[in-house]
Amino acid sequence: MRRVASLDFMRGLIMVLLALEGTGLYEHFFKASENSILNSFFLQFFHHPWNGLRFWDLIQPSFMFMAGIAMAYSLHQQKQKGVSWNKSFLKVLKRSGWLFFWGVLDYAVRPGGLSFELWDVLTQLSFTTLVAFLIFEFSATFQILCAVGLLLLTEYLYRGTHITGFDMPFVDQHNFGNYMDTVLMNKINAGGWVAINCIPTAVHTIAGALVGKLLLQVGKGENMELDNIVQQDSRNKQEGILKIKKILLFALACLIIGYGLDYMGITPIIKRIATSSFTLASLGWCLILLVICYAWIDILDHKKHLLFFTVVGMNSLFLYLFFEIIGARWFNEYITRISSGLLNLLHLPSLLVQIGASLSIFALEWSLCYFLYRKKIFFKI
């Protein structure tokens, strides 16, 4: 099975952006650009406070979308090796369990003591992965209907339940998602995030699995004779273009419906509670990003200079846990003190020192991923 380089690039790009966010770099640039036209640009690297959509709101959907594509490739390889459905199910169940564990652990240690919270992306991914797997073998039509069903269920839960104090569907701190957080964790997130986001965002992982299946139909026949390689590559490109057209049509439909629901005042686009309009609009952008990367890298064969992102994408889970747990609690502060002390010797402005510290943290994290890549060490669960 031929490796799709654009998928490694996309996964690496997402992780690079997340890692840079973990260093505080975007905050430094945002402050540095105050009272300038660039301030609006750097504002895109922060979540929208409620009703609206910014670039940073697409990162988690892309993360879960790529997880669906990776699952499709993994299950395809398992099937080729003769692995039974039961064994694959146990493997996915184990993976979901570990994702849940690491997601809870990420939020568990607080200055005031231990805490149980279900808002981490890994916790959500543990649910969406399991859902996408359970319907993976069914037809594309059935999977799309399941995705629609999840969105309709979300609409009903927010609109059709009438719980005192939590009966305002799209009002922060007073919606059904907030109520479920009091049931599951006896607390409400001050930022408006809710645990049941895993229901609608399962659509991202399901869509990723469907796209993965589609891409797997391209690039077959790598064991052919040398004189047939050129002809096969030409056919693969033609097939790839057809796949791109299908994905673009799907993306257009998602964008029209998602933004249409918001524009007509039916369902607002709210990332923090993953409304159906947000889920569809963000999925549309994920599909467009995939098409751009796939067309440029795999169809047009621009595969040079991808190593910077690839080494990160190959150990995405390791890097995420590193900067979320170790970085946030020790590594970032330690490296910041060292780099700031050295940069202050040059009498640089404090803002440049802060930016330099963030870049130093990222450079060390990337170097660690590169070391693991060179040693062929890849952490998977």
Position 5 confidence tier, pLDDT thresholds 50, 70, 90: confident
Q: Of all residues in the chain, what percent carry a pLDDT higher than 90?
A: 76
Q: How many alpha carbons fall within 13 Å on the CB side of residue 50?
A: 9
What's residue 275's pLDDT?
A: 98
DSSP for residue 219: S
Q: What is the pLDDT of residues 266-320, one digit of tens each?
A: 999 999 999 999 999 999 999 999 999 999 998 888 888 899 999 998 888 889 9
Q: What is the pLDDT of residues 75-91, one digit of tens each?
A: 999 999 999 999 999 99
Q: What is the pLDDT of residues 8-39, one digit of tens each?
A: 899 999 999 999 999 999 999 999 999 899 99
Asked if 274 and 195 touch (Cβ cutoff 8 Å), the reply is: no
What's residue 338's pLDDT?
A: 93
Domain ranges of the chain: 5-11+47-304
What's residue 221's pLDDT?
A: 47
What's residue 228's pLDDT?
A: 57
| Statement: residue 219 has pLDDT above 80 | no
Backbone φ, ψ for residue 51 (5° rounding): -85, 105
